[in-house]
A = this chain, B = another copy of it.
Amino acid sequence: MKVVVIGGVAGGAGVCARLRRNKEDLQIVMIEKGDYISYANCGLPYYIGNVIVDQNELLLQTPEGFGKRFNIDVRVKNEVTSVNLDKKEVVVLNHNSGEIYVESYDVLVMSPGAKPIVPGMKGIDKPHVHTLRTVPDTLNIKEYINREKPVNAVVVGGGFIGIEMGENLRHLGINVSIIEAADHVMGTVDSDMSHEIHNHIREKGANLYLNSKVVEIKDKSVLLEDGREVDGDLVIMSIGVRPETEFLKDSAINLGARGEIIVDEFMQTSQADVYALGDAVSVKSFVSGKENIIPLAGPANKQGRIVADNIVSKKVKYNGTQGTAIAKVFDMTVASTGESERSLKQNGISYKKVITYSASNATYYPGAEFMTIKLLFAPDTGKVLGGQIVGYKGVDKRIDTIASSIRAGLNVYDVQELELAYAPPFSSAKDPVNMAAYVAGNILDGIMKPFYIEDIEDIPKEDIILDVRTEQENQEGRIEGSINIPLDELRDRISELHKSKKYYIYCRVGQRGYIAQRILEQKGFDTLNLSGGYKFYEQFLIDQGNK
């Protein structure tokens, strides 16, 4: 049996290695249009920023070494230009020789990946405009920086690559402006979680242009739709990627609206003996069940293994992607898994939510850092639907706990029970994820009644906003129009309150507010408690002030 694999990066290389381990006597041909296989895509921005200094670090495997080890016919700089499904053949352009040839297959695996979207606009072809996807892209940008010594970089698009590029260009001492069409960067998290990210990016000296669209690229600047000009003698276009499937457009392979390859749960395309995986396919969201294109390395690697197994032996299902993602944003870590509040709304899935604020480890042990967690869960069963975390140390650990909980179908009561590892350098006796689940459980049980920062501007004038922090905390900043009764005085001063009013309680993070709520509710008051507390709201205020 002869297997032809299109693409030699994460997905394709994974298929080949597992295929060979499965069967010594398969003929395997890997066709990769670029110069490199199995390279470190996710490391590319860090090589530009000199965080990774040795170029060889980016090349995980050489074509020769990989070919030798796994007995694979590796052909780099060879590009499949079309497929003939009836004849079971692909047409290949050898970029080394210019020759075009035909390669037959018994089974075809397509892992062609995706490529950056480059919008048509005036100036887009100027030499200082770059995209970042491949090793050559990276070397181009690096060489451009070394040669031209740009002073001002404009990064168009505030997604993962854009933000990572912004950070790395700052490392090099280049001024950075990030331009994002949406109201917040890092579209995998919701708007309410983005304020702290915006504030951190600005603190690190990068400029942020939100709700902004570039309409023209000039030699030393870009022009925004609203007429503003932003200095930039280096422009990185990172507004997204799209499946690189032009070679399939005349084939019978089912493609989606964005050119994505449609596969079934076994990663098989609409054609028997033709599989596809990686950034070019659409997969089911594990949580919502909706089809989606989720270009991430983790899923591509998992799919590679499944495709290889399905070709030779057992039928293994791919159960969908939950979009678990993480990024270093300067000193910060931003992570998410499952559905966002926005995607739940879009998909008409009902949910509840909670915002908590916890330390990475015991606060009495040196080095504890705080993180904000947003947990989304089903209003009936409490099943965890999504999680988002913004913070520093220990964010990566907690998103993995939430990701595992989602994959296992746990509800918030199950998550309360998770017995996570505790010693002072590593966590608290109630881990931040346990804490988020405790508060979520309290919401489901009706003993914590929340309101959210987006509700603040709609609080009716006749209701009372009650700050239960200390007098000093109140003086340092408060929600406009709030009164202050410190929690520890509340029982003694309860006669100052009126049952005819509704009380919108808040404290710093929500914990004292919850205790105050429990006291007042049991005395017959109607209350809500601010999820995330003043601390969370304050990030919104700071972000607003800078917009």
Residues of A whose CB lies within 8 Å of any CB of B are 10, 20-25, 40, 42-43, 46, 51-52, 57-58, 60, 65, 68-71, 160, 286, 296-302, 305, 319, 321-328, 333, 335, 337, 362, 364-366, 396-397, 399-401, 403-405, 407-410, 414, 416-427, 429-431, 434, 438, 447, 487-488, 491, 514-515, 518-519, 522-523
Contacts and interface: CB of A to CB of B under 8 A. Distances in A.
Given A319-B417, A399-B421, A298 B407 contact: no
Contacts of A407: 414, 417-419
A360 to B, nearest CB: 10
A421 B408 contact: no
A20 B38 CA distance: 58
A366 B416 contact: no
Given A22-B518, A401-B401, 8 more contacts: A40-B364, A69-B488, A70-B515, A322-B419, A396-B426, A397-B400, A400-B421, A404-B405
A337 to B, nearest CB: 7
Contact of A51 (B10, B365, B417): B365
A25 to B, nearest CB: 7
Contact of A515 (B69, B362, B397, B414): B69
Contacts of A408: 404-405, 408-410, 414
Contacts of A420: 298, 324, 400, 403-404
B305 A421 contact: no
A426 B160 CA distance: 14
Nearest to A406: B419
Q: Please name the 8 residue pairs, one residue from A and one from B, whose CB atoms are nearest each other, closest first.
A: A408-B408, A326-B421, A57-B364, A397-B397, A297-B429, A24-B522, A396-B426, A404-B404
B327 A423 contact: yes
Q: How many copies of this chain are found per oligomer?
A: 2
A430 B60 CA distance: 14
A494 to B, nearest CB: 10
16 contacts: A22-B518, A24-B518, A52-B364, A58-B364, A69-B488, A160-B423, A297-B422, A298-B429, A298-B431, A302-B419, A319-B417, A321-B419, A326-B422, A326-B426, A328-B425, A397-B397
A426 B22 CA distance: 30
Contacts of A326: 421-423, 426
A299 B396 contact: no
A429 B23 contact: no
Given A396-B421, A424-B43, A522-B24, A51 B366 contact: yes
A366 B52 CA distance: 7
Given A302-B416, A397-B396, A408-B410, A362 B40 contact: yes
Contact of A337 (B328, B419, B447): B419
Nearest to A65: B488
Contacts of A321: 419
A434 B305 CA distance: 12
Given A417-B319, A419-B407, A515-B69, A364 B424 contact: no
A438 B296 CA distance: 19
Contacts of A297: 422, 429
Contacts of A22: 447, 518
Interface centre among A52, A298, A335, A399 (most CB of B within 10 A): A298
Contact of A71 (B300, B424, B491): B491
A514 B21 contact: yes
A40 B361 CA distance: 12
Nearest to A309: B445
Given A40-B362, A423-B328, A519 B438 contact: no
Contacts of A426: 326, 328, 333, 396
Contacts of A421: 324-326, 335, 337, 396, 399-400, 403
A51 to B, nearest CB: 6
Contact of A487 (B58, B69, B399): B69
